C-alpha cells in the first residue's frame, strides 16, 4: 500500500512552532498591499472578495523556520512572485480554495513550499506513484524506499507540480511514457527534477532539472554519451582541452551546456550538430545544445554573441569570427565611412550592423559584396559557401499615432510605445532568422477618420494625409496606433499574400500589448493565424505559441526553431513555416518606396 507522508523537516517544524500563536493578516489590513511583511514567526495571509490583491510578494528576509501561509477565498486569481522561493516557476497562481505554506530557510535565503511527500514501495521493479490532492508533491527515493522505475500518475489536476529527488545508492529511472519528451530521466544519487502536469497535453513537463556536472579533464575531448536530460561540461585553467565533440546520439531533447572559465580558447566541433558556424569557447562563454531524435543532430539553442559597443572602436576590417554572431553598433562616436566584413568566418556565421550615426557606412566583403548601413537601420549578413551575403532587408515604416492616444498617454509615451513595438518586432525577426528589420522613417500625429480599426486600415490606404506623408518619407508601410474600438479584435492588418504596397498597413488599439505590432506586421508580410491551413500560419501550443498563434514567444513559426525552455518545435515542414513566407516576400516589400 502506498502512503503519502509529510516531509520530515516540515512535520518537525509544525510541532516545534505550535507554541506560537499565529498572526492573521489580509490585504486591507496591509494598506491594500501584497507585500507580506517580515517579523512574524507564523503568519497567515488571507485573501477574500473585497479584501484581495493581485500580486503577492514574500519577505526578502526572515528568521530561520519562520512560516507564512497564504490562503484564498477570493473569486479572482492572485499571483505570488516566486523569485525568493524554491519553486522553479516564475509565478504561482493562487485560486479560490488554495492554501500554500512556506517555511524560510536561512541557509538558502529562500522560502520553501510545503510538499506532500510520497515514497515508493521498496525494491519495486515498477512503482505507479499515487498523489494526494495537494498541488505540490514530492517523490523521495532513498536507501530503504527505492524502486527501479517510477511512473507518475496522469489523473491529477492541471498544474500539479512534483519534485522528484533521490539520495539512494542505486540508480533508477522515471518512466517517460507520460513525459513531454523521452529524455534520459535517470535517478542517480543527488538527482532532482521538478515536473509540472499539463492537462491539455496529458504530459508532465520539466520545469527544473539538476544538471550532471562534468569536468572536461575527466572526459577528454569527446563526450561519448549523456546519462541525464541536462549535462554541464566545465572548462577552466588546468581543466581544459583544445577541441571538444558532442556525442553521436542521445535521447530526445537531452541537453548539454558547455561553459568556460579557462584563459585559453577551445573549439567546439560542429560534428553531430545542426550548425557549421564558428563555435569558439572563450573565457565566460556558454553554449547550449539540444538533441533532436528525428533530426539525428544536436541543435544549437544558445550561444554567446560578440558585441562591439557604440562607444568602442570599430576596426576598418572587422575582426575574424569567434562566435556565431558578431553585433556591431555604429554611432557618431565610432563611425567609419568604410567597414569590411571579417575575412575569416565559417558557413552560418552572421554579422549584424546597427547604426545611429548621422552618416551612412559603406560595407564591403572579400567576395565583392557591397551594401550601405544608413541611420536607424539594422543590416544582417551571413557567411555562405560563396562568402558574405545579405541576410536581411529594411522595411521602412511611417508610424501614425492618433491624438486621442497622445491625450491619454502623453505625446512622448505614445511615441515610445510605438518604438517599443517596432523594436520588439525586430528582435523577433532576428530570433527567427526572418530576413527583415523595420525602420522608422516618419512619425505622424493624426487620426485616421474611421469608426473602428478595421475601417482605419481600409481608409488609411488612400487617406490623403497619410499617403502624402508616406510618400514624403519614402515609407514601405504604415502602422497606426489608435483608441478606436477594435471591431472584434485589438489589432487589424491586411494579409499581403501577394505583396501590395496599397495593402501595407496595420493598426492596433492601445489596449493591446506592444507585441501586437509584430503580429499585425506579420499579416502585412503574408502570414495567417494559427488556425489557417496556409504554410504561413502561426504555431500554437499550450507551452508557448509563435507570433501568429498566441503571440507569447519571440518567434515566427518555423520547423527549424524550438521553444528555448521546453524544446517544442515551433513549426512543421511544408505546413507551418511563417519564416519561409516572410523571407520570400521581404525583399519585394522593402522596395515599395
Kindly report, residue by residue over 516-561, the tens digit of the pLDDT.
Answer: 999 999 999 999 999 999 999 999 999 999 999 999 999 999 999 9
| 9: in domain | no
User: How far is the C-alpha of 261 from the C-alpha of 284, rounded, in Å?
Assistant: 6
User: In CATH, what number is assigned to the domain containing residue 151?
Assistant: 2.60.120.1230
Per the CB < 8 A criterion, the answer to whether 75 and 57 are in contact is no
Total count of residues recorded for the chain:
593
Count of alpha carbons within 13 Å of 67, Cβ hemisphere only? 22
Please report the pLDDT score of residue 21 as a whole number.
56
User: How far is the C-alpha of 95 from the C-alpha of 404, rounded, in Å?
Assistant: 37
Please report the pLDDT score of residue 86 as a whole number.
95
Domain ends where: 209, 244, 269? 209
Residues 416 and 514 reside in one and the same domain: yes
Given CA atoms 279, 281, 284, 290 in this order, what sign does their dihedral have? positive
Q: Choose among 103, 106, 125: nearest CA to 114.
A: 103
Per the CB < 8 A criterion, the answer to whether 204 and 175 are in contact is no
Please report the pLDDT score of residue 18 as a whole number.
37
User: How far is the C-alpha of 260 from the C-alpha of 268, rounded, in Å?
Assistant: 12
Average pLDDT of the segment spanning 494-500: 92
3-state secondary structure 249-315: CCCCCCEEEEEECCCCCEEECCCCECCCCCCEECCCCEEEEEEECCCCEEEEEECCEEEECCCCCCC
> Phi and psi (nearest 5°) for 567?
80, 10
Residues 464 and 491 reside in one and the same domain: yes
111-138 tens-digit pLDDT: 999 999 999 999 999 999 999 889 999 9
Please report the pLDDT score of residue 1 as a whole number.
29
3-state secondary structure of 1: coil
| 16: in domain | no
CA distances from 424 to 59, 417, 435, 492, 590 (A): 33, 11, 15, 18, 19
The DSSP-derived string for 441-471 is EEEEE---S-SSHHHHHHHTTT-HHHHHHHH
Q: Choose among 260, 299, 255, 296: nearest CA to 277.
A: 299
Domain ends where: 369, 391, 413? 391
Residues 109 and 120 reside in one and the same domain: no
225-274 tens-digit pLDDT: 999 999 999 999 999 999 999 999 999 999 999 999 999 999 999 999 99
Per the CB < 8 A criterion, the answer to whether 183 and 223 are in contact is no
Is pLDDT at 143 greater than 90 in this prediction? yes
| 509: in domain | yes
Residues 530 and 432 reside in one and the same domain: yes
| 17: in domain | no
Domain of residue 412 covers: 394-590
Residue 489's pLDDT band, with cuts at 50, 70 and 90, is confident
| 6: in domain | no
| Relative orientation angle of helices 516-524 and 578-590, to the nearest 10 degrees | 70
Residues 79 and 149 reside in one and the same domain: no
Residues 186 and 266 reside in one and the same domain: no
Residues 151 and 275 reside in one and the same domain: no
267-325 tens-digit pLDDT: 999 999 999 999 999 999 999 999 999 999 999 999 999 999 999 999 999 999 999 99
User: How far is the C-alpha of 443 from the C-alpha of 396, rounded, in Å?
Assistant: 11
Domain ends where: 265, 282, 302? 302
Residues 135 and 44 reside in one and the same domain: no
| 556: in domain | yes
In this structure, what C-alpha cell is assigned to residue 313? 572602436
User: How far is the C-alpha of 253 from the C-alpha of 247, rounded, in Å?
Assistant: 13
Residues 381 and 442 reside in one and the same domain: no
User: In CATH, what number is assigned to the domain containing residue 520?
Assistant: 3.40.390.10
Residues 546 and 441 reside in one and the same domain: yes
3-state secondary structure of 431: helix
For the chain, give the mean pLDDT: 94
| 1: in domain | no
User: How far is the C-alpha of 546 from the C-alpha of 530, rounded, in Å?
Assistant: 9
Domain total for the chain? 5
Is pLDDT at 492 greater than 90 in this prediction? yes
Residues 568 and 447 reside in one and the same domain: yes
Residue 462 backbone zone (phi > 0: left; psi -120 to 50: alpha; other: beta): alpha
Given CA atoms 128, 130, 136, 138 in this order, what sign does their dihedral have? negative
In this structure, what C-alpha cell is assigned to residue 355? 547604426
Residues 85 and 124 reside in one and the same domain: no
Residues 6+ apart with CB under 8 A from 398: 441, 442, 443, 444, 466, 469, 470, 473, 475, 477, 478, 479
In this structure, what C-alpha cell is assigned to residue 339? 567597414
Average pLDDT of the segment spanning 102-114: 96
Residues 6+ apart with CB under 8 A from 291: 226, 247, 249, 250, 251, 252, 253, 254, 255, 297, 298, 299
Q: How, if at all, do strands 192-198 and 230-235 pair?
A: unpaired
Given CA atoms 62, 67, 73, 79 in this order, what sign does their dihedral have? positive
| 289: in domain | yes
Amino acid at each position: 500500500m502506498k502512503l503519502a507522508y509529510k516531509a520530515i523537516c516540515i512535520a518537525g517544524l509544525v510541532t516545534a512552532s505550535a507554541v506560537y500563536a499565529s498572526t492573521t493578516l489580509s490585504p486591507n489590513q496591509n494598506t491594500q498591499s501584497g507585500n507580506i511583511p517580515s517579523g512574524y514567526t507564523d503568519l497567515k495571509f488571507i485573501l477574500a472578495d473585497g479584501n484581495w490583491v493581485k500580486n503577492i510578494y514574500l519577505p526578502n528576509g526572515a528568521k530561520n523556520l519562520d512560516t507564512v501561509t497564504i490562503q484564498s477565498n477570493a473569486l479572482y486569481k492572485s499571483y505570488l512572485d516566486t523569485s525568493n522561493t524554491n519553486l522553479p516557476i516564475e509565478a504561482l497562481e493562487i485560486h479560490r480554495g488554495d492554501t500554500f505554506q512556506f517555511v524560510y530557510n536561512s541557509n538558502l535565503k529562500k522560502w520553501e513550499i510545503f510538499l506532500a511527500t510520497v515514497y515508493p514501495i521498496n525494491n519495486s521493479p515498477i512503482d505507479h506513484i499515487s498523489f494526494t490532492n495537494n498541488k505540490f508533491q514530492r517523490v523521495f527515493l532513498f536507501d530503504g524506499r527505492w524502486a527501479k522505475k517510477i511512473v507518475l500518475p496522469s489523473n491529477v489536476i492541471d498544474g500539479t507540480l512534483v519534485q522528484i529527488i533521490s539520495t539512494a545508492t542505486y540508480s533508477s529511472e522515471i518512466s517517460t511514457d507520460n513525459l513531454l519528451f523521452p529524455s534520459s530521466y535517470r535517478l542517480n544519487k543527488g538527482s532532482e527534477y521538478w515536473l509540472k502536469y499539463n492537462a491539455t497535453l496529458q504530459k508532465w513537463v520539466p520545469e527544473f532539472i539538476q544538471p550532471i556536472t562534468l569536468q572536461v579533464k575527466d572526459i577528454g575531448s569527446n563526450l561519448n554519451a549523456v546519462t541525464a536530460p541536462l549535462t554541464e561540461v566545465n572548462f577552466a585553467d588546468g581543466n581544459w582541452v583544445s577541441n571538444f565533440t558532442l556525442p553521436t546520439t542521445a535521447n530526445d531533447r537531452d541537453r548539454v551546456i558547455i561553459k568556460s572559465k579557462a584563459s585559453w580558447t577551445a573549439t567546439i566541433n560542429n560534428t553531430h550538430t545542426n550548425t557549421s558556424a564558428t563555435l569558439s569557447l572563450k573565457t565566460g562563454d556558454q553554449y547550449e545544445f539540444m538533441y533532436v531524435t528525428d533530426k539525428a543532430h544536436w541543435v544549437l539553442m544558445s550561444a554567446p554573441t560578440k558585441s562591439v559597443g557604440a562607444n568602442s572602436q570599430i576596426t576598418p576590417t572587422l575582426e575574424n569570427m569567434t562566435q556565431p554572431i558578431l553585433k556591431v553598433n555604429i554611432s557618431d562616436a565610432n563611425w567609419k565611412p568604410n567597414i569590411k566584413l571579417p575575412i575569416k568566418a565559417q558557413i552560418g556565421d552572421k554579422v549584424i550592423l546597427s547604426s545611429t550615426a548621422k552618416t551612412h557606412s559603406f560595407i564591403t566583403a572579400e567576395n565583392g559584396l557591397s551594401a550601405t548601413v544608413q541611420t536607424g537601420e539594422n543590416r544582417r549578413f551571413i557567411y555562405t559557401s560563396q562568402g558574405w551575403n545579405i541576410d536581411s532587408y529594411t522595411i521602412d515604416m511611417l508610424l501614425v499615432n492618433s491624438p486621442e492616444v497622445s491625450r491619454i498617454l502623453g505625446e512622448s509615451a505614445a511615441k515610445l510605445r510605438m518604438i517599443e513595438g517596432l523594436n520588439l518586432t525586430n528582435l523577433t525577426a532576428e530570433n527567427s532568422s526572418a530576413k527583415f528589420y523595420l525602420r522608422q522613417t516618419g512619425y505622424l500625429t493624426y487620426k485616421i477618420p474611421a469608426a473602428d480599426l478595421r475601417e482605419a486600415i481600409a481608409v488609411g490606404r488612400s487617406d490623403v494625409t497619410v499617403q502624402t506623408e508616406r510618400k514624403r518619407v519614402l515609407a514601405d508601410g504604415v502602422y497606426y496606433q489608435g483608441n478606436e474600438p477594435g471591431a472584434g479584435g485589438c489589432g487589424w492588418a491586411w494579409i499581403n499574400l501577394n505583396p501590395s504596397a496599397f495593402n501595407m498597413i496595420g493598426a492596433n488599439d492601445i489596449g493591446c500589448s506592444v507585441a501586437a505590432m509584430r503580429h499585425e506586421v506579420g499579416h502585412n508580410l503574408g502570414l495567417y493565424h494559427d488556425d489557417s491551413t496556409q504554410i504561413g500560419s502561426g504555431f500554437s501550443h499550450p507551452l508557448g505559441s509563435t507570433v501568429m498563434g498566441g503571440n507569447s514567444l519571440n518567434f515566427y513559426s518555423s520547423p527549424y526553431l524550438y521553444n528555448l525552455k521546453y524544446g517544442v518545435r515551433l513549426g512543421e515542414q511544408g505546413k507551418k513555416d511563417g519564416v519561409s513566407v516572410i523571407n520570400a516576400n521581404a525583399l519585394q516589400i522593402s522596395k515599395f518606396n
